């Protein structure tokens, strides 16, 4: 009888243990399934959803998070993984991220302007651009996207200064940081004006040396940016393409730049003491030569050795050198006439015009004027562009 009681007591316990084990297994399976689902969802979000989110649009063209992040890593890799020095910001990472986003926006606007002008570049021309930047000249391909396709004039509605600088070494030429207000529709201030200047001539390479150099460059930059080599090569190709389009667009731009302009040869006397002012006025009133008074009394040590002569100046030059009021006063003087005393803070000035003439501009001056006009054209393009940026764009900085 005792045995029967023992058997009856053991069976329920065994069943309970089996039930408990079953519950543990089921619970573990459910928890494991939930964890697996969460992991899959996280991976889908990280690898598919987030990269394909649109962080900005420019005239309807989308900038995806994955492209922005790749570009950020590429540019940062060009800095050896270090943020550019000299950025005045409490958060240089965000400032650097702003510059990258602005560069991508500028590139889109530039490409639209080039397309409207009928300017295109081929893969062969882009490869040659890269080769020449590294010092290898395999011969010039025949340009197909000639900048004479559609002249660009004042009738075009412009925007965007390209900021991409193509360099043959894994470094990036820093540009001033654009101001991007993180709102749904953002006004971005123009970036640094385009400077169309010849790049330093690299040491000439033969084909074998070039292949080795470009291979080392891509490998090192890939390592520094944590990007696959093929992506680094694609990004380099894109940078060179934008640079080439910039050059072609500049060549196509028909700026209304004069080849000559009215200028005056100006003399200056600058002092900071009121006693000197009295002496200057007395001596000039007595008919003493302006150059003699300037040589003896002017505190401008650069010009007083030349009798105050600062050389030929246009109205625009004077405005840049002084201010609009000073410039207007100086430019209105007749030859030999001396201005009234002009005051700027605690500094006193007298000006005269030695000569006035319509002078031919130098080739460099004409080119500089064309660059100024081109930058103004790009600024107008940017102002008329529709640029929308996600409020949380900073969350996509890698």
Taken in order of first residue, the domains within the chain and their CATH numbers are: 54-256+377-396 (no CATH), 261-360 (3.10.50.40)
Task: Enter the tokens of residue 300.
Answer: 């401008």
Q: What is the pLDDT at residue 253?
A: 84
pLDDT per position as a tens digit, 136-146? 887 655 454 44
SS (HEC) of the chain:
CHHHHHHHHHHHHHHHHHHHHHHHHHHHHHHHHHHHHHHHHHHHHHHHHCCCCEEEEECCEEEEHHHHHHHHHHHHHHCCCCCCCCCCCCCHHHHHHHHHHHHHHHHHHHHHHHHHCCCCCCHHHHHHHHHHHCCECCCCCCCCCCCCCCCECCCCCCCCCCCCCCCCCCCCCCCCCCCECCCCECCECCCCCCCCCCCCCCCCECHHHHHHHHHHHHHHHHHHHCCCHHHHHHHHHHHHHHHHHHHHHHHHECCCCCCEEEEEEEEEEEECCHHHHHHHHHHHHCCCCHHHHHHHHCCCCCCHHHCCEEEEECHHHHHHHCCHHHHHHHHCCCECCECCCEEECCEEEEEEEEEEEEEECCHHHHHHHHHHHHHHHHHHHHHHCCEEECCCHHHHCC
Measured in degrees and rounded to the nearest 5, phi and psi for residue 205 equal -125, 150
Q: What is the pLDDT at residue 274?
A: 84
Q: What is the pLDDT at residue 197?
A: 44
| 151 vs 175: CA distance, rounded Å | 29
Task: Enter the tokens of residue 168.
Answer: 């043959």
β pairing state of 309-313 and 342-344 = unpaired
| 42 vs 36: CA distance, rounded Å | 10
How many Cβ atoms sit within 10 Å of the Cβ of residue 273? 12
Measured in degrees and rounded to the nearest 5, phi and psi for residue 245 equal -65, -40
Which residues touch 40 (CB under 8 Å, ≥6 apart)?
none
Q: What is the pLDDT at residue 346?
A: 86
Q: What is the pLDDT at residue 192?
A: 46
Which residues touch 15 (CB under 8 Å, ≥6 apart)?
none
Q: What is the pLDDT at residue 46?
A: 54
| Measured CA distances, 43 to 37, 51, 70, 71, 89 (Å) | 10, 11, 18, 22, 34
Burial of 222 (0-12, 13-18, 19+ CB in 10 A): buried
Q: What is the pLDDT at residue 181?
A: 35
In a 13 Å sphere around the CA of 314, the CA atoms on its Cβ side amount to: 14
Q: Which residues pair with 263 in a beta bridge?
A: 357
pLDDT per position as a tens digit, 180-221? 333 333 333 444 444 444 455 667 888 899 999 999 999 999
| 331 vs 313: CA distance, rounded Å | 9
Q: What is the pLDDT at residue 90?
A: 72
Single out the residue of 153, 175, 155, 154 nearest to residue 164, CA to CA: 175
Which residue ranges of the chain lie beneath pLDDT 70?
1-19, 26, 30-52, 85-89, 139-202
Single out the residue of 303, 334, 294 nearest to residue 321, CA to CA: 303
How many Cβ atoms sit within 10 Å of the Cβ of residue 77? 21
Cβ(245)–Cβ(121) under 8 Å?
Answer: yes
Global pTM reads 0.62
Task: Enter the tokens of residue 184.
Answer: 């749904």
């Amino acid at each position: 009888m005792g045995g029967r009681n023992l058997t009856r007591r053991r069976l329920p316990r065994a069943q309970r243990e089996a039930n408990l084990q079953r519950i543990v297994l089921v619970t573990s399976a459910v928890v494991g399934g939930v964890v697996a689902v969460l992991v899959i969802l996280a991976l889908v979000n990280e690898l598919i959803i987030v990269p394909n989110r649109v962080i900005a649009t420019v005239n309807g063209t989308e900038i995806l998070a994955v492209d922005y992040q790749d570009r950020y890593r590429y540019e940062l890799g060009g800095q050896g993984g270090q943020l550019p020095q000299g950025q005045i910001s409490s958060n240089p990472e965000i400032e650097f991220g702003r510059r990258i986003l602005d560069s991508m926006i500028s590139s889109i606007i530039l490409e639209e302007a080039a397309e409207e002008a009928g300017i295109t570049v081929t893969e062969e021309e882009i490869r040659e651009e890269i080769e020449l930047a590294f010092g290898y000249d395999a011969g010039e391909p025949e340009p197909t996207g000639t900048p004479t396709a559609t002249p660009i004039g004042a009738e075009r509605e412009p925007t965007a200064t390209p900021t991409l600088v193509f360099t043959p070494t894994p470094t990036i030429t820093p540009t001033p940081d654009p101001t991007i207000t993180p709102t749904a529709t953002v006004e971005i201030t123009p970036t640094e004006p385009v400077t169309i200047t010849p790049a330093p001539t690299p040491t000439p390479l033969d084909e074998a040396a070039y292949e080795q150099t470009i291979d080392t460059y891509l490998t090192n930059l890939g390592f520094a940016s944590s990007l696959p080599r093929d992506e680094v090569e694609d990004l380099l190709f894109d940078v060179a393409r934008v640079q080439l389009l910039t050059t072609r667009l500049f060549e196509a731009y028909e700026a209304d730049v004069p080849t000559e302009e009215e200028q005056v040869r100006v003399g200056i006397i600058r002092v900071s003491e009121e006693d000197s002012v009295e002496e200057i006025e007395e001596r000039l009133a007595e008919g003493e030569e302006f150059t003699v008074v300037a040589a003896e009394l002017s505190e401008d040590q650069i010009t007083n050795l030349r009798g105050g002569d600062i050389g030929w100046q246009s109205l625009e030059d004077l405005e840049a050198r002084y201010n609009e009021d000073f410039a207007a006063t100086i430019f209105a003087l007749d030859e030999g006439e001396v201005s009234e005393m002009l005051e700027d803070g605690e500094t006193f000035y007298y000006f005269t015009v030695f000569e006035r003439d319509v002078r031919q501009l130098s080739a460099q001056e004409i080119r500089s004027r064309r660059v100024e006009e081109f930058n103004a054209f790009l600024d107008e393009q940017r102002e008329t562009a529709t640029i929308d940026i996600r409020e949380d764009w900073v969350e996509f900085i890698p």
